[in-house]
Amino acid sequence: MHRLVFLATLFGLFVLSSVVSQAAPTHSVVPGFERFHAAGKGDAALGGQLLLGELNCTSCHKADAAAAALIQNKQAPVLDAVGARVRPQYLRRFLADPQAVKPGTTMPNLFAALPAAERKQTVEALVHYLASTAKPAHESANRKAAARGQGLFHQVGCTACHGSVGTDAPPLATSVPLGDLERKYTLGGLADFLANPLKVRPAGRMPDLRLVGTQARDVAHYLAGGDLAAANVNFKIYLGSWGKLPDFNTMKPSATGTGDGFDISVRPRAQQSGVRFEGFFRVVSEGDYTFLLHSDDGSKLYIDGKLIVDNDGTHAGTSKSGKTRLAAGMRQVTVDYFNAGGPFVLRVEFEGPGIKRQDLGDVMSLTKEPPKPKTDKKDPDAGPFVLNADLAKQGKKLFASIGCASCHQMKGQETPAGAKTSLAKLTGAGGCMSAAPVKGAPHFALSGPQRVAIAAGIKKIAAGSAAPQAEDLIAQTLTRFNCYACHERNKLGGVEQVRNALFLGSVPEMGDEGRIPPPLTGVGAKLTAAWMKQLFDRGAKDRPYMQTRMPRFGVANVGHLVAAFGAVDKIEPVKTPAFSRKPKSVKAAGWHLVGNRALSCTKCHNFKDIKSTGINAMDITLMPKRLKHDWFHRYMVNPAAFRPGTRMPASFPDGQTLLKDILDGDANKQIEAIWVYLADGRRAKMPFGLSRASLELVADDEAIMYRNFIQGAGTRGIGVAYPEGINLAFDANAIRLAMIWQGGFIDAAKHWNGRGAGFQGPLGDNVVALRGGASFAVLENDKSPWPAEAAKKLGYKFRGYRLDKDRRPTFLYDYGAIHIEDFPMAVDSEDYPTLRRTLTLSSEKPVDNLWFQAAVSGNIQAGKDGTYTIDGALKMKITAAGKPVIRDGQLLVPVKFGNGKAVIVQEFDW
């Protein structure tokens, strides 16, 4: 102990030979340095300046204000509640040798020059101190959460700095290493960190990806969930017949176990049984929580033994909810459920501060405390960790004396005054810069180029630092915060080729524009200062097609960019046109221009929350908030000049409008009118053409046809509407009558607006899907099964159709050598129309054992005179030479040829 204090006072004064043999550590990874300065690239002094900040040198070696502004040091993580977050077993190994445990870390080794025993003692005390700051934020790993987290990690932008995880590919030189997160973090701790990284790491190098709701937790479970155990609740099963929930406490369960969420299928029988689920729910922030039970039959939910939701009794699916205020920490959840008879269901959901309603079963933990420690002797983290208060006390003193507090903010610790040599007076050699550890000095793992750069950086600062030019300041900031990982500016930075495929979009035809974050060249002339500030303050996700989000870096960290961008990025001003008409009428012209009778902007752009039928380009009402007026004008005239390769069309070629009859045919006026209209933001009136009116097709006085993707009739559907008010759909791929219905025919809006994606079903009612495969088959005998193969495989060929004077089709198709003419027609009766279908078969050669499948149903009742009732609703009459038979849920009609011809009439009444 005394010795340690002694050592600390001698910090930096002695140069001792290394007494600890070390596996050669890889150097500290600073992405901007690796990309622009490694291997002697770039300006060494600038690279050094970058490192002086990223390695936090000025925490000890004070810099004057001008140099400090240039260096913008990266504050080390705040350790106030590190015990909730980082596992002590990991800290023990990490503090003893940071580079070995997390290669590439920027954390120096403070004890490299200490004898082993002493190092162990020191580290142990510090670990107990750090662990004493908070209880671990334990959670059970959850597979579903991790699966969602995997998706998020690879979509929202994590990979821009960290690279892809879970591949065997070696990490990229410019990737910020993650280390072994499973050993480092408690799941809850990592989730809390990811939800607000700037709280622990205020310097913004790890920005806030705006993970909302359970997203932070999901990513944490993906990154640190390890071999995920699916079980996260305990259950006890009870058998018995009850009218309401019995007191399970007094009963003996018939079985117990653990499962994944509130899954009532764990019961051995659905009826006359009940189950109690127990587990824990980690409340992250204090607040009001609402719990919801939907069950058939009864259920109850308790938190810490207190009844919150009572949905008891014998009933059909019923929802009940209850609200309670919960303090942060692990809360015990008990859910009791029973079902007496009939259908059965249980859903348990919750919502809370910042958490949208979701399945509670997803976030449960099996235990209140972390599971028992690993017992595998080979595991470096094996063995329990029992907090020792004395050691923690020792650690607290050490924390101060060693100088940890110089870099790490910690509750109850004062930041030491800058007792070390000031930055400008450093020589750039020896001490922290030594290749071999020096007793009393932190040992940084530096590469050769890093050492050269730091020395150059110090030298430059010693020579006196002038405030940088705005463009230089911008470049330095974009390097420091690794903005260049996503954004290019003035041909510098941008997505690295090796990382390009990691950037994803949801609209493939947007190409790179839809997945690569926009360039920052000229951004100061483009975005308003307020909007830019908001981006830094809150981050953004305004491009619906782009998966990567703009993270929150914090105004305190990057806010100076607003003025710098504004100072250097200029655009030729636009003369705002003078209007002789009233402002209202200008706005109306803007409204007209945006709509589908003019420029059709909303064909691609979303309008507020209404999605366009095209590519879902950015909400158009955001534009005047985001964009500067002059830039908007210039961009409208020539989008490709500002964004090469953009999908945005040039609506004003050569600055001319094609709409000569609006606002004097003056392009400048028209663009201004659009600006005026859009400036209403979310209050802007909906543009014309956005509401999708229905396009009902009606057969007025003759039959009409609709060939398209028809739900129930396949990709080669042929819909026919008859003026009598009935409709059918023929499936030209399966070559069979697929569907009949009454009333409205088809709404073509889905196919005739936008690109026409998807299937459209019937508009009317009494839709009868005619089941079964091929209509005709040759069977060996009347016991042979009906063939299951697709019609074309069976030798069917669709040949088209012929229309009669009333435009009614006769469908033409072949089955082998048999020609079939299939003529459906509507028959008006007094009440409602029926359908009569005449099938005429012809064949040059007689065909034996040919059958027609008239209906398929488990419920076919034969009536009088060749009538049948199908499914109790559809009446069918068959008129044919052969006598129909009912077998295996089929109504089959033998086809009898006479003179090479056979006729079957099938009538539908429904």
Partner 1 sequence: MTLRVTLAAFAIFTGFASLSPAADPLPTEADYYKILKFKIPEGVVLEAGGLELMPDGKLAVCSRRGDIYMISDPFAENPAEESKFTLWAQGLHEVLGLAQRNGWLYCVQRCELTRMKDSDGDGRADLFETVSDGWEISGDYHEYAFGSRFDKNGHLWTVLCLTGSFTSNTKFRGWCLRFDENGKMIPTCSGIRSPGGIGMNYEGDVFFTDNQGPWNGTCSLKHLKPGSFQGHPIGNKWYDEPGVVAAMGPRPKDPKSGSRIMTEAAKIPQYMPPAILLPYNKMGKSASGITADRSGGKFGPFAGQTFVADQSHSTIMRCFLEKVNGRYQGACFMFRRGFSSGNLPIMLTKDGSMFVGGTNRGWGSTGRQPFALERMQWTGKLPFEVHEMRAKSDGFELTFTKPVDPQTAGDPASYKMGTYTYIFQSSYGSPEVDHTTPTIDRVVLGPDGKTVRLYLSKLQPGHIHELHMPGVRSKDALPLLHNVGYYTLNYIPKK
Residues lying near partner 1 in the complex (CB under 8 A) are found at 500-501, 508-512, 514, 596-600, 603-604, 613-614, 634, 637-638, 640-641, 644-647, 649-655, 658-659, 704-709, 714-716, 718, 732-733, 748, 752-759, 798-804, 812
Chain CA centroid to CA 15, Å: 53
Q: C-alpha distances in angstroms, 159 versus 1, 30, 176, 215?
A: 44, 15, 10, 16
What is the helix (H) or strand (E) element at residue 800, kind and residue range? strand 796-803
- What are the φ/ψ torsions at residue 577 (nearest 5 degrees)? -70, 150
What's the one-letter identity of residue 751?
Answer: H
- Beta carbon nearer to partner 1, 100 or 812: 812
Q: Please, what is the minimum distance in Å from the beta carbon of residue 213 to partner 1?
A: 30
Q: Which is nearer to partner 1, 225 or 639 (CB)?
A: 639
In the complex with partner 1, the residue whose CB is nearer, 272 or 638, is 638
- Smaller CB separation from partner 1, 431 or 717: 717
Among 449, 552, 554, 613, CA closest to 35: 449
Nearer to partner 1, 154 or 716 (CB): 716
User: Among residues 647 and 896, whose Cβ is nearest to partner 1?
Assistant: 647
The minimum distance between CB 36 and partner 1, in angstroms, equals 22
Nearer to partner 1, 434 or 521 (CB): 521
**In contact, 494 and 485? CB cutoff 8 Å:** no
For the chain, the distance separating the N- and C-terminal CA atoms, rounded to the nearest angstrom, is: 95
Tokens 């020096």, located at residue: 438
Residue 587 C-beta: closest distance to partner 1, Å? 20
The pair of structure tokens assigned to 359 is 């399945």
Rounded to 5 degrees, what angle do the CA atoms 619, 621, 624 make?
120
The Cβ of residue 889 has, within 10 Å, a number of other Cβ atoms equal to: 14
Question: Which CB atom, from 556 or from 790, has the smaller least distance to partner 1?
Answer: 790
The CA-based dihedral angle spanning residues 450, 456, 459, 460, taken in that order and rounded to the nearest 10 degrees: -120
* Closer residue to partner 1, CB minimum distance, 683 or 805: 805
Q: Which CB sits closer to partner 1, 614 or 773?
A: 614
**Structure tokens given for 557:** 């960290």
Min dist CB 756 to partner 1, Å, is 5
Query: What count of Cα atoms within 13 Å lies in the side-chain half-sphere of residue 53?
Result: 27
Q: How far apart are CA 361 and CA 350, in angstroms?
A: 10
CB of 418 to partner 1, least distance (A): 49
As a three-state string, the secondary structure of 57-72 is HHHCCCCCHHHHHHHC
Rounded to whole angstroms, the Cα distance separating 721 from 736 reads: 17
- Using the minimum distance from each CB to partner 1, give the nearer residue, 576 or 859: 576
To partner 1, the closest distance from the beta carbon of 848 in angstroms equals: 28
* Distance between CA atoms of residues 688 and 683, nearest Å: 15
Phi, psi at 630, each rounded to 5°: -65, -40
Polymer length in residues for the chain? 910
Q: Which residues contact 825 (CB under 8 A, 6 or more apart)?
A: 722, 808, 835, 836, 837, 838
Distance CA 486, CA 549 (A): 10
**CA 341 – CA 296 distance, rounded (Å):** 9
Q: Within 10 A of 129 (CB to CB), how many other CB atoms are there?
A: 26
Q: In angstroms, rounded to a whole number, what is the distance separating the alpha carbons of residues 358 and 660?
A: 54
CB 607 to partner 1: min, Å: 15
Which residue, 107 or 732, is less far from partner 1 as judged by CB? 732
Q: Give one word for 305, left, alpha or beta, with left for phi > 0 and alpha for psi -120 to 50.
A: left
Distance of closest approach, residue 494 Cβ to partner 1, in angstroms: 11
State residue 687 phi and psi, 5-degree precision.
-65, 160
Q: With respect to partner 1, which residue has the nearer C-beta, 91 or 729?
A: 729
Nearer CB in complex with partner 1: 637/847: 637
Q: Which residues contact residue 829 at a Cβ distance below 8 angstroms, ignoring those fewer than 6 apart?
A: none
**In the complex, minimum distance from the CB of residue 655 to partner 1, in angstroms, rounded to a whole number:** 5
Q: Which is nearer to partner 1, 315 or 597 (CB)?
A: 597
Pick from 402, 389, 440, 413: nearest CA to 78: 413
Q: Is 831 exposed, middle or buried (0-12, 13-18, 19+ CB in 10 A)?
A: exposed
The dihedral sign for the CA sequence 635, 637, 642, 648: positive
CA torsion through residues 498, 502, 507, 512, sign: negative
The residue among 395 and 762 lying less far from partner 1, judged by its C-beta, is 762
Our CB check for partner 1 shows the closer of 684 and 735 to be 735
| Residue 629 CB, nearest approach to partner 1 (Å) | 15
- Cα separation, 217 vs 140, whole angstroms: 11
With a CB cutoff of 8 Å and minimum separation 6, the contacts of 560 are 473, 477
List CB contacts of 616: < 8 A, sequence separation 6 or more: 506, 507, 544, 545, 604, 606
CA–chain centroid gap for 495, Å, is 21
The number of C-alpha atoms within 13 Å of 811 and in the hemisphere containing its C-beta is: 28
- What the block records as the tokens of 126 is 């510090």
Please list, in sequence order, all residues whose beta carbon lies within 8 angstroms of the beta carbon of residue 615, skipping any fewer than 6 positions away.
507, 509, 510, 514, 545, 604, 647
Residue number with CB closer to partner 1 (255 or 640): 640
